[in-house]
Chains A and B, each alone.
Chain A
Amino acid sequence: MMITNEKNDFDILRFTTVGSVDDGKSTLIGRLLYDSKGIFEDQLAAVQKTSGKKGFESDEGIDFALLTDGLAAEREQGITIDVAYRYFNTPKRKFIIADTPGHEQYTRNMVTGASTAHLTIILIDARKGILDQSRRHALISSLLGIPNFLIAVNKMDLVDYSQEVFEKIEADFKELISKLDLANANIEFVPISALKGDNVVNAGSKMPWYKGSTILEVLEGVDVQSTLVDKKFRLPVQYVIRTDNAEYPDYRGFAGQISTGTVAVGDELISLPSGMKSKLKSVTALGADTDRAVAKQSVTLVLEDEIDTSRGDMIVKIGEEPELRKEFNANICWMSETKFEPRKKYLLKHTSNKIKAMGTEINYKLDINNYDKLAATELGLNDIANIHFKLLKPIAADSYKENRNTGSFILIDEISNDTVAAGMIN
């Protein structure tokens, strides 16, 4: 098949960074971009033109924070409001950074950035230790199922590069996350100075006691694809492609992006919710058909038999069916200024499916700073809660823990059309 003819070890890692003013997040991103040459001179010059009024300057005389603040309002106020996406490459990998603000009022932006991340960088100021922000960040990263945590203890230059300070923070953080469900997560701690560059791209000479990887080495080393390929095969059908010509007479193909797993010609498949069964005949592609497809590919499958399948359905392997669920509990992050209303009908978008749904009961609300479960009767902007949902029709869904794609949904307000919540099925 086509993909095997290419060099496949150069892939993409998406990671998120969260932080508020002064904790050095923008400096860290600026440093990664600058040291890996991911920033252009004219973009740098445009920033330097408006620089000089705020922020920290590095040894190179650059206020890295200004590189990452994209909107005029952000540059004027010196804050990060929204999620910004940044790109850089090393010889090993392409990186996509979702750069989000850390303040509690921007929890929804953190959730957004975390939703697609393979890795999260949690920045901790070495002088201050673990703050509320770190607690929030760890909780959101764990709720959103990010598989890799990189705890960067920053500003080591301001604590004399002390091993003791670093180890104390490491111990405190491990204690903190023992309350979270992180049994399967890969967690690494790195002492750094983003401003001076120690242990970001290059190790530097200030912390000989630290034998671990630099930030970039961790970012380059994380495996993101194997785990997706190993899971059960899931193809949410997006579009049915039909045509009738000499090469493809009476053609009918089921198009979608494979969430997880792999599929090969001859595999016995079942379409949900209809329950109709068939076998994979071929995978259509411009150029030449193939006999196999893998997680994250956008493909078009042709089956042996004519079965009734359309947008919103899910094709899976026989014996690996997900549950059809009409009711479930889900963790949600409320993203709208309009409050959540129990029993109000929202539009729930799950894979390629849109269905009416209502939250019948708030099981509990999470205190995002100390992780306590609180009783609640209403939810507002940035609240994180566990809710019981009822759907108009059943959907084929996995739990979010098993599958971040077939276990997630958004809620849409039918009047304002706003995206009001992000949901993760239990």
Chain B
Amino acid sequence: MSIVKEELKLNHLRQLEAESIHIIREVAAEFKNPVMLYSVGKDSSVMLHLARKAFYPAVLPFPLMHVDTGYKFPEMYTFRDELIKSIGAKLIIHKNEEAMANDMNPFKYGTDKCCAALKTGGLLAGLEKHGFDAAFGGARREEEKSRAKERVYSIRDEFGQWDPKNQRPELWNLYNSEINEGESIRVFPLSNWTEVDIWEYIKAEEIPIVPIYYAQKREVVMRNGVMIPIDRSSPYTSPKEGEEVLIKNTRFRSLGCMPCTGAVESDVTDIDGIIEESKLARKSERENRVIDLGSDSSMEDKKKEGYF
């Protein structure tokens, strides 16, 4: 009896997987025009893999959208294009062309304004342009304290804004998909996953990831205590005058825009090493994301403006 039961048990990854697939299928069934936000990072990679499992052997019933700021790592673009080709999904690449033509950058305008224009602005315009009524995002509640209070189905008004005081109760696995004209929802199928869960699942399912999650020798400069990577092909990722360029063995725990994403020192070159490092980490994976360092309620403020 007990032997049979052991075989019938699901471990934490299979429980999380089942919950996420249930959410993804609900959205596909109940919304007219969903889209999956794909940002090339590890969470997006897991979310996309779960979506493929959810509808296998059929193809994804919705497109993917990458809100591209133009400042991502070169390795991210290469990875994205190869992966999309190999799985045969439909990918929309949306950019805030106007802001990019006007040279929006974090140095002249500051990280907050740059993010607002290229990420939040790009996202809202992209959703509106295609009339998407539901957008999947790979955010997890563990990442940040305001995310810990956000629902799996996060209702946004016409401006894409989140109102933390006006959230619908969410009970059992019953999600309320009713929205009014102009409203949309953001859906977070990975809400209950932690960073370690993500890495363990990537290992278990052999999901491909961008190679810069692994350590390599890299030129970096120290800016406000954050180790920023250098790429001399663009003025925005080159060292500034007077900055000392160091060569360090580093990797990235989370991926964003190159000028605003810090590296961590590491010698880890395989998935087991990453899992070990994540388990031992005493700092959250967003410690090196310049966007979060603004104030105690930085993320909550951005979400209220329409950010993921």
Q: A: which residues have CB within 8 A of B?
A: 3-4, 6-12, 37, 40-43, 46, 49-50, 69-73, 75, 81-87, 89, 93-94, 96, 108-109, 111-112, 115-116, 225-226, 229, 238-239, 241-243, 245, 247-248, 251, 253, 255-257, 262, 284-286, 294-298, 300, 311, 335, 347, 349-352, 404-405, 408-410, 412, 414, 417-419, 422
B202 CB, nearest partner CB in chain A, Å:
15
A234 CB, nearest partner CB in chain B, Å:
13
B171 touches A7 (CB 8 A): no
17 A/B residue pairs, CB under 8 Å, sorted by A: A3-B7, A3-B10, A11-B15, A42-B287, A71-B297, A71-B300, A94-B194, A109-B169, A116-B172, A238-B29, A239-B29, A239-B55, A262-B8, A298-B18, A298-B54, A408-B174, A417-B178
A257 touches B287 (CB 8 A): no
A13 CB, nearest partner CB in chain B, Å:
10
Residue-wise, chain B 2-22 has the 8 Å CB interface mask toward A (1 for contact) of 000111111111111111011
A343 CA to B25 CA in the complex, in Å?
A: 33
A90 CB, nearest partner CB in chain B, Å:
12
A278 CB, nearest partner CB in chain B, Å:
20
A389 CB, nearest partner CB in chain B, Å:
16
Chain A CB within 10 Å — which of B7, B169, B191 has the most?
B169
Residues on the A chain within 8 Å of B11, using CB: 3, 6-11
A284 CA to B163 CA in the complex, in Å?
A: 40
A282 CB, nearest partner CB in chain B, Å:
12
Of B15, B22, B171, B204, the residue contacting A111 (CB under 8 A) is B171
Q: Provided the pairs A12-B12, A71-B300 are in contact, do residues A43 and B284 lie with their beta carbons within 8 angstroms?
A: yes
How many B residues are at the interface, by size bracket? 35 or more
A349 touches B176 (CB 8 A): yes
Residues on the B chain within 8 Å of A241, using CB: 55-58
Of B29, B57, B141, B283, the residue contacting A85 (CB under 8 A) is B141
Residue-wise, chain B 287-308 has the 8 Å CB interface mask toward A (1 for contact) of 1000000001100100000000
Q: B: which residues have CB within 8 A of A?
A: 5-19, 21-22, 25-26, 28-29, 52-59, 141-142, 145-149, 164-165, 167-174, 176, 178-180, 191-192, 194, 196-197, 204, 281-284, 287, 296-297, 300
CB nearest neighbor in B for A310: B29
Q: Which 10 A-B pairs have the closest CB atoms?
A: A298-B21, A417-B178, A40-B284, A70-B145, A243-B58, A72-B297, A115-B171, A8-B9, A298-B18, A257-B22
B9 touches A285 (CB 8 A): no
A347 CA to B147 CA in the complex, in Å?
A: 29
B18 touches A257 (CB 8 A): yes
A112 touches B9 (CB 8 A): no
B15 touches A409 (CB 8 A): no
A248 CA to B55 CA in the complex, in Å?
A: 13
A3 touches B171 (CB 8 A): no
B171 touches A422 (CB 8 A): yes
B296 touches A50 (CB 8 A): yes
Residues on the B chain within 8 Å of A225, using CB: 5, 8-10
Of B17, B142, B171, the residue contacting A298 (CB under 8 A) is B17
A277 CA to B136 CA in the complex, in Å?
A: 36
B98 CB, nearest partner CB in chain A, Å:
32
B194 touches A284 (CB 8 A): no
Residues on the A chain within 8 Å of B178, using CB: 347, 412, 414, 417
A108 touches B169 (CB 8 A): yes
Of B141, B167, B173, B284, the residue contacting A257 (CB under 8 A) is B173
A405 CA to B196 CA in the complex, in Å?
A: 29
Residues on the A chain within 8 Å of B22, using CB: 238, 256-257, 298
Residues on the B chain within 8 Å of A297, using CB: 10, 14, 18
A304 CA to B169 CA in the complex, in Å?
A: 40
B204 CB, nearest partner CB in chain A, Å:
7
A75 CA to B164 CA in the complex, in Å?
A: 14
B171 touches A75 (CB 8 A): no
A112 touches B169 (CB 8 A): yes
B4 CB, nearest partner CB in chain A, Å:
9
B25 touches A239 (CB 8 A): yes
A70 touches B10 (CB 8 A): no
Residues on the A chain within 8 Å of B18, using CB: 257, 296-298
CB nearest neighbor in A for B52: A286
